[in-house]
Amino acid sequence: MATAIPHISTNHTNSRTTTKITTTVPNHSNNDKDTSIPDAPPSPPNDTPTQQQQPPPSKKRKKQKETHILFQTTFRKPKWSYMHLILVTPGTASLPPSTSTCTSSAEINPPKHTDDISPLLASPLLLQPLTSYLGTTGSAIPIDILKTQGRQVWLRVPRQDVRAVRASLSSWVGNVEADDVPGLRGQGGGKVRVAWRILGEAGVLGGLGGMGDGGDLFG
């Protein structure tokens, strides 16, 4: 490649200076080599798409969704205790408790019939052992008869008095008219000896055997 070389000459004439610039292009032979650096070839297009870098996974623990509890409480000292009793006679005292204990809701709620012990009879039969065992203190214990079925009775008594009630009923034997006892009505025979047998006891009504959640008791 030829490079122009400028030549500067100055002519002084009659106090006038003239500057002349000439350019001389040197003649290079064919043997001269081009020492210029060739341009770099264009880079081939990159066909692979640019991958977007994903952010690293967060190390924070995801908080699990907790169930929403409207209300929760624990009865550490329940106010009441529940008892399941059956009135036995000399003819039924030798039978195992399983023959008279309810084990399913179908047995708890059989077809209605009139051969059930009356609450008016069960109440004095419960008061007698309490009075004979504890005197006036026993007669002052509040006892609620929740349900009667056949010769079975479900009671609710104060928690602090349940031991005294259990001891009173376990050691009592009394007399009652045979016509007032379910299963003996119409057979005559005058008075018959009776006693209470405890089939179950729990701090909640559902804790009695075969009672489920206690709802069947009032069905």
Residue extents of the structural domains in the chain: 81-93+114-218
Tokens of 178: 């045979």
Taking alpha carbons only, the member of 115, 113, 130, 107 closest to residue 196 is: 130
pTM, to two decimals: 0.56
Q: Taking residues 60-79, what's their average pLDDT?
A: 76
Residue of higher predicted confidence among 105 and 200: 200
- DSSP conformation class of 46: -
| 16-20, 111-115, 144-148, range with greatest mean pLDDT | 144-148
Find residue 153's DSSP bridge partners. 85, 148
pLDDT digits (tens, 9 = 90+) for 167-180: 999 989 998 888 88
Taking alpha carbons only, the member of 161, 156, 166, 143 closest to residue 218 is: 156
Which H or E run contains 218?
A: none
Find residue 25's DSSP bridge partners. none
**CATH class of domain segment(s) 81-93+114-218:** alpha beta
Confidence of residue 110 (pLDDT cuts 50, 70, 90): very low
| Alpha-carbon gap, residue 149 to 86, rounded angstroms | 9
